[in-house]
Amino acid sequence: MTRLSSEQVLKDNNTADPTSVLTLHLTHKALSDITCLANFINLEKLDLKLNNLTSLEGLRSCVNLKWLSVVENKLESLEGIRGLAKLTVLNAGKNKLKSIDPVMSLVSLRALILNENEISSICKLDQLKDLNTLVLSKNPISKIGEALMKVKSVTKLSLSYCQLQDIGISLKSCVELSELRLAHNEIKSLPDELKLNSKLRNLDLGNNVITRWSEVKVLKSLTNLKNLNLQGNPVSTIDKITRKIKKALPRLQIFNARPVDKDTENKKGGVVDGTDDFSVDEAIQNLRDSTKEKKSARFQPTGQNEDDHLEAADDIDSERKSSKKRKKTVDVSKMEVGVLKEENKGHKKDKADRKKESLIVIVDPDIENKPTKKKIKKDDKPFDKGVALEENISNVEKKLKKKRKNEEQSELDVIDDGEASFAELFKINDAETLNRDDEIKAQVKVAKDVKLVGSTVGSFAEGKNAKMQNMESLSSSVAEIGMGGPSTWGDD
């Protein structure tokens, strides 16, 4: 059993006073006991993910906690957090929780993440008047019941990979709901009450068992939908219904993981469903092949399919148009040659003029500048790379400043931002992110030192590559609902 010691925590934070510590990142430490945290009564942010905790009793005295993450521990209960009335963000995903009753007393809670636990039923969350985000995906939940009947503030709700067969009237009070994830369940139809969730913009119903239009006709009332996913349902394979859905939802931008405009017909090339048109070379080859077929087709029996006749007619018409174009091009070329000859006849010059012309043609206009160009290129190569590196350093510093500004932003603002992805809730306070931030600062410092001592261009390049790799690791792309890729809510 790994116990956390107050002395070690104080040493790591360069202080002798536990009441002065406001933030602690204690991840990946194999902790199974945190009773020493009872002395840190002014803690506001605490990250305990990836440990071996089985109890949160040591947090009873941390009444000022606002942000708590206990992801990937061995918790079977949330006892110990009942008195944390100031807690606004709680992430207890990937544990062994069977009940969420203790959260009922967390009246300030705005984000509750409990994905990948063993929760089978949801208690009433009536007291959570400010609850904005709720993630309960990957739990054996068969019904929502009345848990959210009085929670009007929820804007993001995920119940994917549960065992839901219907949602009934359970969401009718969630009038502010903008994102709803119900993928990978056993839902057969959508209730008429869903029309009350008129602010819905993102709706994921993928991999359920919806088969008919009558089961999803309420969708036509959700006119603010921008992203809709029905993939994996039998209804998504019926073209007539999918066309009806797209027609009924004028603001829809992504449907079944594809931009809606790519599903429309391309009038120029006759392209349907976003497929690419033939290349020019393929078209020419097809035309040649069709010409050969036409010659033999003249002697075919008259029992051919009508579509074959139409295709042959189209090919012949295309061939005639092409030959006309070629003939027109040849005629134009001949005319141009004739005009040039006439111009040459009408503008004869004497021998001196012709010599001047020949000299002008022979002399390379860039000969004078060539050595200078080479010299400049040779001399300026290190300078250019140095300037590029300096600019890159400047860009990194700007990004770091922006990041620090974001860190100072209240988590509550991020939670309440309807456009912000759920992952942004924890990005600000992620210890690993802070470590990467420190690595980038170190890279910037090294690059500056190298520049000051006049190191080689190769060293600059290496520093640049290292910084770019770190920046790439920070800027991982997050896919929107219905577009595939990792979940924006961290629940897949």
Judge if 268 and 286 occupy the same domain: no
Residue 128 lies in a domain: no
Same domain, yes or no: 31 and 91:
yes
| Residue 137 forms part of a structural domain | no
Read off the pLDDT of each residue in 276-287 and give the average, rounded to a whole number. Answer: 43
For the stretch 409-432, pLDDT in tens is 555 555 555 555 555 554 544 544
Tens-place pLDDT, residues 427-479: 544 544 455 455 555 555 545 554 444 444 444 445 545 545 444 433 333 33
Structural domain boundaries enclosing 439:
370-474
Do 306 and 273 reside in the same domain of the chain? no
Q: Does residue 208 lie within any of the structural domains?
A: yes
pLDDT one-digit tens code per residue, 308-359? 443 444 444 455 555 555 555 545 455 554 545 555 555 544 555 554 444 4
| Higher-pLDDT residue of 465, 368 | 465
270 in the same domain as 182: yes
Q: Structural domain tally of the chain? A: 4
Query: For 77-91, what is the mean pLDDT?
Result: 95
Residues 229 and 187 in one domain: yes
Is 271 in the same domain as 181? yes
pLDDT at 102: 94
Do 285 and 382 have their domain in common?
no
CATH number assigned to the domain comprising residue 22:
3.80.10.10
Tell me: pLDDT of 301 over 50.
no
Residue 273 and residue 162 share a domain = yes
Any domain includes 404: yes
For residue 51, give every residue at least 6 positions away whose Cβ sits within 8 Å of its Cβ, in sequence order, or none.
Answer: 26, 27, 28, 29, 30, 31, 32, 70, 72, 73
For residue 54, name the pLDDT band (cuts at 50, 70, 90): very high
User: Are 374 and 446 within one domain?
Assistant: yes
Lowest mean pLDDT among 190-199, 232-241, 349-358: 349-358
- Whether 345 is in a domain gets the answer no
Asked if the model's pLDDT at residue 269 lies above 60, the reply is: no
pLDDT tens-digit series, residues 30-45: 999 999 999 999 999 9
Q: What is the pLDDT of residue 378?
A: 45
Instruction: Compute the average pLDDT of residues 86-109.
Output: 96
The residue from 289, 311, 336 where one domain ends is 336
pLDDT exceeds cutoff 80 at 276? no
Mean pLDDT value across the chain: 74
Residue 173 domain-assigned (yes or no) = yes
308 and 388: one domain?
A: no
Q: Output the pTM of the full model.
A: 0.62
- Give the per-residue pLDDT at 431: 44
Nearest to residue 106, comparing CAs of 142, 56, 156, 145?
Answer: 56
The domain boundary, picked from 244, 277, 310, lies at 277
Average pLDDT over residues 246-264: 86
Query: Does some domain include residue 125?
Result: no
State yes or no: pLDDT of 224 exceeds 60: yes
Q: In this structure, are 270 and 316 located in the same domain?
A: no
Res 193 pLDDT > 70: yes
The verdict on 235 and 306 lying in the same domain is no
The more confidently predicted of residues 146 and 328 is 146
Domain annotation covers residue 420: yes
End residue of a domain, out of 260, 277, 294: 277
